[in-house]
Chains A and B, each alone.
Chain A
Amino acid sequence: MNGVISSNNFQMADSEAGGAKPDSFIKKRKPSSDYALKKRVPHRNSHRKNDVYVTSKSTSQSQLALCEKLFDSGESEIFIYGLGSAVCPAINIALQLKEKYPRVYEVSVETSTVDIVDDLEPLVDQVDYETQTRQNSAVRIRVYRIQPETVKS
């Protein structure tokens, strides 16, 4: 939302990146008519070919197809990343892969917390730009091919 910040806008903004938060977290933000909340891109550590970043807007079907394509092109493992509200779709995709090809792929999950920077853009001349940092949960799922021997045994 570009709009003036109020409690409700915060909820809107959050729904994209992490669902409902405890009230204390919302209070931490500057509620005023002086600032508009703007977001920055969270950092991505890895830019390899086999990294799949899932967002809450991406359709699961096409993401699944992308993962399959990566495996078909010879990758032995892929990494699926999800942040905030995209954690769910990320897990979904990994599990769908596992279910669609039983005893071919295995997953290992890593969870973490990511710092996210928000900009507070001034709406009036008298104040300066400010930033605030918040945390959000993130997941990294490694989907890898099980060795054929293991499948046989």
Chain B
Amino acid sequence: MANQFDAALGGSIQIPGHISTAVFAQARCQEIEALNNALEQAQKGGLIFQRLPKAMRRRVMSHHSKRMPRRLREAHTKQLEKNGVPPKTKCPSRKYRRRPQNLLLEYNRRQRNFIWLETHIWHAKRFHMTEKWGYKLARFPNAKTFRACYRASANHCLLQDISYYCCMEIKGPEIELIEGLKKHVSSAVGLTFGAQAFISGCKEGHTTFYYKDKFPFGAVGAVQFLWKAENGSSTEQRILWLWTHPSIYNEVKNCLIETFALGEEMLPEKLSEDVGSQFSMVEIKKLEAHCVLEAYPKYISSDNRICLILLKDKLNRFRLTGPLSHSILVDTLNVTSFAEKDKLFDIFETEDVEFLNSDSDFESPEDTIAQREDADVNDNKRISSDSEMWWKTYYRSNEVAQKAHFLQADFWRAIRGSYSASQFPPHQVVALTVLDPRYQLPSKRVKIVPDSKVPFQPERHTSLFKSISISPIWSSEVRMATCTSKLSQSEWEKHRAQKVLVPGISEGEINCAKTLNLEKSNGFEPSCIPILLVQRPGSQDSQQKRLGFSSGWDIIFPAGWAMPFWIALIFRGAKPGGLKEASMVQFETGSVTLTEPFAPDTAAGKTEAEANRREREQQHFRLPPNKRPNFIKFGIASPFSCCWDILLNDWCQNKHKDIDASFYVLREKVKLDALKCIINNSFKSGSNVNGGTRADQISHFSSLFSNMNHNCLIPVRIESVKRGCPADCALICIPSSDDILHSKENSAWEGPVEPIHNDNKSDQRKTLRNQHKKELRRLRKQRVLSNNKLKKQMDMLLEKGESISHLISLKKEKTPTKDFVDKHAEEMKLLWIPEPKTIKDSCSRTVVGFVCKGDFSFSEAHGVGLGYVPLPALVHLINTWTEKPLVLFRNPNSLQYYYAVLKIF
């Protein structure tokens, strides 16, 4: 009340009775303008996004413009585009993407660089996938089942898809083939291609492949081979299958081409149209993706006698490891379809009498099928439906094969009572022709155990008949027919839904003849697949490993059938494993020869070692400096790789002045056995071992090794005595006399400790880092300038409508200081881990070797390492040992030495 404004109300200000509109409006105008200005300027700063009150902002808005209020959306998108974020392209709907044809297109696009196995999609859902050797392979299961996989391989059944192993077929006169291949192998390493044991085709052979006449240098890697079993009559022309790891596939192929003087590759042709006509578009594309419909690439020698056919990806191979693998296979594979002689003829007589009469003079199964396919084109519909059933044609025309089949079927039924694959002859090949495994699928996943009711027939396991490995799988037409006659999964499901098939026939005695009739009445015929089973004996010496450990069967069957077999095996309790599990089984088996494809003297081994080194190094330098172990202080010269050349150089220096850079791994059996006798046996009490006293052994040993090139590595195995577990790249060292004394006196003594080395590079690193920082500060202006320039350039390009990806690549192009920074990083790396000059004397104990693969061994219950030691170092070790063959090992990230016993396998 006291302070009024207007004088009329008692205030101090006189208000005029009228105003001039022009003056008033003018004044207001200015005010409004000022307000407007203020408002607009407030909005112009920052992003559109920032205009929203905080409570309305969402994180997704940064990459999903539809989450912005509609009025701001347009401006927001523009702003995002300006900043170089690519605008969202519209993704086709899921329904569209999942159409079989489109899905297949997408799958084929995705396997352009790395080939998928047939079981890829099954694996990709459950496994960590990796790109290796041109394939996309399963690495380890997502369900963390590493230990379970070990237990499966030891006590149950571990299943692996090793279809990435590559097969090559060599055709030609037997003598010429053996003569040619002899140049690539040595009889000192093991049995060769011409060995009596393998020539009949009943066993699969293993050997190491070398470059032509280079033995003992120039190893390519381990190969497996199998001769085609002949139908009784001995023919000059033979076929050999050579299985290699994909990492050495090209090398082996080139070696063979050179040795047999084979000509240019003949490009595969697409298969004739009529085969495809029975299938839908999608099905054909699927088959094409698996290269099934293509003829095989061929190389033929100039005199047309020898032919190399590449069967890469044309055959599938599964590996079953563990005692239950036999029971699972017995349950999965049904040979019954046409096993009864009478039944087979019944079918023929009712259906094919005319045909049988018209083409009575067949010469070979291959011709038969070719003729039949010609006949298809003509007219006869009945025959064309029959041509799907390749086995009818094949077995009717080929009596030897038919007899063999009956014997094989009989054999397969007789061995149902066996308990493990290792009860069979080692490396035995068993050929079977089995029914589509989808017929007898358990309704849910079960565990198959050996049936103790079936009597065990020991005589079936020792003397096997000759025709056991005669198989139609060797004929390419049969393989093709097998593949094309396969019912697709959807068709299969349709038939099953119509109850054409009775699930669960597997229980009790299977009468497949009945099944056949059942299907025939519905116009539906079963497929039969020729397969080969290859036995792997596993451990055959109870001194080394439990008898039969890691034994099992390999199944080889034509392409296109992987999924039915895979599911059938999985549903019977086989545990799937990936590459990690495969290497675990090899490691547990403990044999170094098995780790070959990657022996250090092969190109494949070097590539693999280099890849591992790079990965470990990158991992190391990704850590902040205070989290990295300082390997200089640890006295580890090469923490990420095994520098064999430097180690060999150190050990061979005194003896050979002119050192050859190349080295090789000792694989000669006689020499390894001599070494084994000296190391494994001689330190036992009452050393009257193998060929007399220790002196005799040593003289035998020295006579064997006197003329040898010393640039060689001996595969060894170390087993930790007390604690400790060797890691990859661990050092194998000679214990000093004090160490041995300590270990004897004090049973709790774990091992010596390496004194911390002096890090003389620390100052250099410090100065280098300071210099670098200073230099970077000096170059700051350059960077800023170039950044601005780039920004302008990009804006211009944007206006021109350049694609975003191009802009991004422009942005990634090097900044002016990139070279400088990279160079500094390299220098710094060298100051952290200097180039090793010597390995032997790099720490307080003399280094004799490296561990290539080290881990805790579940089967041995202590740490085990597989590695190599140069020959001179081993000789030195043998001379120092008095009791046990004791060595020390030290992991790269530790100062602690542990004791281990050295063995040779």
Contacts and interface: CB of A to CB of B under 8 A. Distances in A.
A121 B673 contact: no
Contact of B450 (A47, A115, A128, A129): A47
Contacts of A16: 542-543
27 contacts: A2-B544, A2-B673, A2-B676, A3-B677, A3-B690, A9-B690, A38-B426, A38-B540, A39-B541, A40-B423, A40-B540, A40-B548, A41-B420, A41-B422, A41-B547, A41-B548, A43-B423, A46-B452, A47-B449, A57-B542, A117-B461, A122-B197, A124-B191, A125-B196, A127-B197, A129-B197, A131-B463
Contacts of A41: 419-420, 422-423, 547-548, 551
Instruction: Classify chain A's interface size.
Output: 35 or more
Interface string A103-126: 000000000000101010111111
B196 A127 contact: yes
Interface in A25-64: 38-48, 55, 57
A24 interface: no
Interface in B681-701: 681, 688-691
Given A16-B542, A43-B458, A122-B191, A3 B452 contact: no
**Main SS of chain A's interface residues?**
loop
B231 to A, nearest CB: 20
Contacts of B461: 40, 117
Given A16-B542, A41-B422, A124-B187, A8 B688 contact: yes
Contacts of B690: 3, 6, 8-9
B425 A128 contact: no
B779 interface: no
Interface string B324-360: 0000000000000000000000000000000000000
Interface string B166-197: 00000000000000000000010001101111
A130 to B, nearest CB: 10
Nearest to A33: B670
B449 to A, nearest CB: 6
A48 B424 CA distance: 23
A21 to B, nearest CB: 16
B31 to A, nearest CB: 94
Instruction: Classify chain B's interface size.
Output: 35 or more
Nearest to B684: A12
A37 B423 CA distance: 15
B225 to A, nearest CB: 13
Nearest to A125: B195
Contacts of B681: 12
A66 interface: no
B317 to A, nearest CB: 23
A8 B540 contact: no
**Main SS of chain B's interface residues?**
loop
Contacts of B689: 8
B288 to A, nearest CB: 42
Given A2-B673, A3-B690, A119-B540, A43 B456 contact: yes
Given A41-B547, A43-B458, A122-B195, A1 B541 contact: yes
B542 A17 contact: yes
Contacts of B541: 1-2, 38-39
B123 interface: no
A40 B195 contact: no
Contacts of B458: 43, 115, 117
Contacts of A42: 547
Nearest to A56: B542
A4 interface: yes
A133 interface: yes
Interface string B195-236: 111000001000000000000000000000000000000000
Contacts of B420: 41
Nearest to B542: A16
B537 interface: yes
B89 to A, nearest CB: 60
B542 A119 contact: no
B462 interface: yes
A46 B463 CA distance: 24
Interface of A: 1-4, 6, 8-9, 12-13, 16-17, 38-48, 55, 57, 115, 117, 119, 121-129, 131, 133
B396 interface: no
B546 interface: yes
Contacts of B673: 2-4
Enumerate the 6 nearest inter-chain pairs by beta-carbon distance, A residue then B residue, closest first. A38-B540, A41-B548, A125-B195, A41-B422, A3-B673, A128-B196
Contacts of B620: none
Nearest to B591: A2
Contact of A123 (B456, B547, B669): B669
Given A39-B540, A55-B546, A122-B191, 13 more contacts: A2-B905, A4-B670, A8-B691, A12-B543, A16-B543, A40-B422, A40-B424, A41-B423, A41-B551, A43-B458, A57-B546, A124-B187, A131-B463
A2 B423 CA distance: 18
A122 B540 contact: no
A86 to B, nearest CB: 10
Contacts of B450: 47
B708 to A, nearest CB: 19
B682 to A, nearest CB: 12
A133 to B, nearest CB: 7
Contacts of A119: 425-426, 537, 540
A55 B547 CA distance: 11
A47 B454 CA distance: 13
Interface centre among B458, B543, B546, B548, by most A CB within 10 Å? B543
B462 A131 contact: yes
B677 to A, nearest CB: 7
A121 B422 CA distance: 14
B462 A133 contact: yes
Given A117-B462, A125-B191, A127-B196, A39 B452 contact: no
B452 A38 contact: no
Contacts of A13: 543
B669 A125 contact: no
Interface string B388-427: 0000000000000000000000000000001110111110
A9 B548 CA distance: 20
B862 to A, nearest CB: 14
A17 B547 CA distance: 11
Nearest to B323: A41
Contact of A1 (B192, B196, B543, B546): B543
Interface string B656-683: 0000000000000110010011000100
Interface string B530-542: 0000000100111
Interface string B714-747: 0000000000000000000000000000000000
B696 to A, nearest CB: 12
Contacts of B547: 39-42
A124 to B, nearest CB: 7
B357 to A, nearest CB: 44
Contacts of B426: 38, 119, 121, 129
A48 to B, nearest CB: 8
A60 to B, nearest CB: 16
A15 to B, nearest CB: 9
Nearest to A41: B548
A12 B540 CA distance: 14
Nearest to B449: A47
Contacts of A126: 196
B68 to A, nearest CB: 65
B438 to A, nearest CB: 28
A78 B105 CA distance: 60
Interface in B414-454: 418-420, 422-426, 449-450, 452
Contacts of B456: 43, 45
Contacts of B691: 6, 8
A38 B180 CA distance: 31
Given A45-B452, A131-B462, A3 B676 contact: yes
A117 B541 CA distance: 13
B320 to A, nearest CB: 16
